[in-house]
Structure 1
Amino acid sequence: MSPAAIRRFQLGRVGTAEERDTLPLGEERALQSAGAAFHALADTMPQIVWSTLPDGSHDYFNARWYEFTGVPEGSTDGEGWAGVFHEDDQPVAWKHWSHSLASGEPYEVEYRLRRHDGEYRWMIGRALPIVDEAGVIQRWIGTCTDIEDQKRISLQNEVLSQELSHRIKNIFAIISGLISLTARTSEAFAEPASKLKERIAALGRAHEFVRPHTEKSRPSVGEVTLAALLETIFETYPAFSEGRIEISGPQIEVDSKAATPVALVFHELATNSMKYGALKHDHGHVRIDIEQNENEVAMRWAETGSAGRPDEEPEPGFGTRLIDIAIRQQLGGTFQRKWTDDGMTLDMQVKRSRIAATG
């Protein structure tokens, strides 16, 4: 008996009289029983269940498919099923399906299917190959699961997140405006106001980096990693574009709650270096090394090319106290500053659970 005939028996389709005559009676009953059991099981499932031949031609849909689509039984065999797909989703679905057929890899893709009343609903389609002892694909068994409600909830959450992010950005702008207005009425406040606005701007860049993004806005900021966040903080510093600030280390995905203290710490370090340290000089250089283990993330800020150790240890200012609060209280870590012959190093160890996103 041909493989196609055996497949018909496996699906509970009796086949031609000639095919029945060439199959031993016991094997015929076993194949028909297996097909009937598969149908009964598939029809009890809440998902749409389907199967295809090795070339991808559909040859079976369970009762849920016909209830959902309202199409006549058998009308979507072969490639007829494509007619119920939303036309915008067909290219991606075909691309994934063709790849799975060629490679034998599992199939998974989201698309919209037209319901019997004309409404399109989001589905997640999955399929796995059934192989024989030699590893040759005999057929594909797949499902379609309705995810329309999850999609709507996700969209609502995205809209709320975008609105919240927009309002936070407005708050940053209002605070900066108030600072500028106050500085214009008080000459003594002008210099502190300038520093405060710079810090707020650093927080704004950090917020823009870690805020919820749409598919359109996400590529503009890239991956949400610690190194990428630091690059975002430093992008306004000329020394960074000149290659005098280098960052090395593993790609650690940073949690949104860690963005604020990280932004404040490294903004203070860069600003101080520009005014008093290595970055004040054309040949000055800063290297940031990041390491991690199971419990901690270590970050080293190393300046070279400056005058080295000052004659007297500088008195802790607001920036130093800000770094202390950010590292010790918000990131649960410690830090130590050391002066070298031509610069300064600051070693920071923070809790990995405070800085790394856990998914």
Structure 2
Amino acid sequence: MPDQLALRAVSNDSDFRALVDIAPVIIWVATPDGECTFLSRSWREFTGQADGEGLGNGWLAAIHPADHTTVREAFVNARARASRYQVEYRIRTVAGDYQWVLDSAAPIVGPSGVLQGYIGSIVDNQARKSADVERRKAERRLKVALEASAIGTWEWELPGNIFHFSDQALRIFGLAESSDAVAFERLRRLIHPDDLPEVVRLSAAALDPKVRLREPYRYRITRENDGETRWIEAQGETVFDEGADAPPSAYIGTFQDITEEVAQAQSLRDSAARLELALNAAQLAVWELDIANDRLAPSPALNRLYGFPEDAQPTSDEFRSRYAPGEQERLEQLGQEARARGETSIRAEVKHILPDGSVRWLLIQAQAAEPTLDGGPRVIGVAMDITQSKLHGEKLAVVAREMEHRVKNTLTLVQALVEQSFRHPRSTEEGKAIFFERLSAYARAMDLLARDAGQGAELSNLTSVALAPFQERGLQQIRISGPQVHLEPRLAAAMVLGLHELATNAMKYGALSVPDGRVDLSWSGADDKLDLVWTESGGPTVKVPDRKGFGSRLLGGVLLQGQAGAAELKFEPSGVRFHLSCSLQSPG
């Protein structure tokens, strides 16, 4: 009970409320029973609830009714382990609609070791959920397209040696549609004996981590229900676990009955090839290139993709003029490499720049075809606009990485500040005072990043503000020395990030994680050059990390982006050492 009373006191403290009210995300505090004791101003602005309306269990009124159970279960499960958790749910906004959010929370453990409650942050997650909805729509459209094109899908579950067939795949093989599961031996008996060795060889090549064959192959089957012999084409891709030589976990692909195509005369083979390519990549623009005469046969769909009028007759060079710089050479190189491997097709994502300056990404697939009437070489192919999915995917990846790092970094810092501030044998009041001092200093340092710096900042003032949250009261674990050096705005903002990253890692793993640890920060500035050294000592023995993390990339990149100089981060056993040498002049 004393721990919970302390938690409520913290939640109601005016300084705490003022600090978190400036945060760009919704901050909340709850007791171990899930009753909310504090909601930042951002909650009221987001939901329209009145001040105090969301406390206790009042916040549930803003949660989508269908998500109540999900939110409660996430909290209860995390509380049982006193662990962090994340949960997605919908919140009714002030406008009356529901938007998806991501709620991330960490436990607060008091000096006695008892769980006081949880502190969490809520960020808008609507964009990612909308992308998921669009992805599901695309999957449904693909399913409809596959069914309409009579293409069956399959998945070989390797551990159980079982095939899972779509309804269309079952129909192709003449199998009963009561179950989608087909045993390997049952399927093997349906393959024509003359084709079975080649099918086995090609399947083994696809499952081999060193080969990973993905080429389509054709063979004959004897349908189970009527004994009819049919030609099918199978195309698949093996799913491997992570690692260069990782074993396969599944083999997935498509079946298509191509009996009629095989039986057609030579005069129909071109049409069959175009149809096959179009069916394998739905809604594609088809094209044909006479290589000897460098003459491209366009289509209205292809003209639209390249920004020409539908009835235009552009030349091959006019189509190539839409390529972004370097793309034509890259395609030619891909073609040469494919021919060197004995392959007759290529597939590539190609960047184009249209006359109005807009960027368009096209997925292009080309296949060598039967020669022209005069015997000249010929290529047929398809093209599909993938601009939105390409750009959207890149944007989502960047946003997701940035959001994940910011949330983790903020929660890690807050938890570390709580643990350090309430370290035994401090009283709750003393720990609270230290915690508020550190949190306030951290807010002031972050304000340097958000503020229009204008004239920049003095390095000594900047380091004092940025590192104040990490100083242990009375111990002076961080020793700072150096002359007055003025940093231009970009370098000043980057320096706050860099010092914050170094200090956060030191508090979590290095010298600042123990009372006897020390950090020496010194610098010199002469001839428009900054020379700064961060040295840790007295902490736990340092181990070199297995991989280069976000912090290392930040220290080696953000501080020097566009700036002349060098940044070196060393993980010496006695302590981390970081050395920065750079120009004080703004680049460019």
Shorter-chain TM-score category? 0.3 to 0.5
Tell me which protein shows more strand as a share of its residues. 2
Q: Which has the higher helix share?
A: 1
TM-score (norm 1): 0.47
Q: Whose relative contact order is higher, 1 or 2, with alpha carbons under 8 Å and at least 6 apart?
A: 1
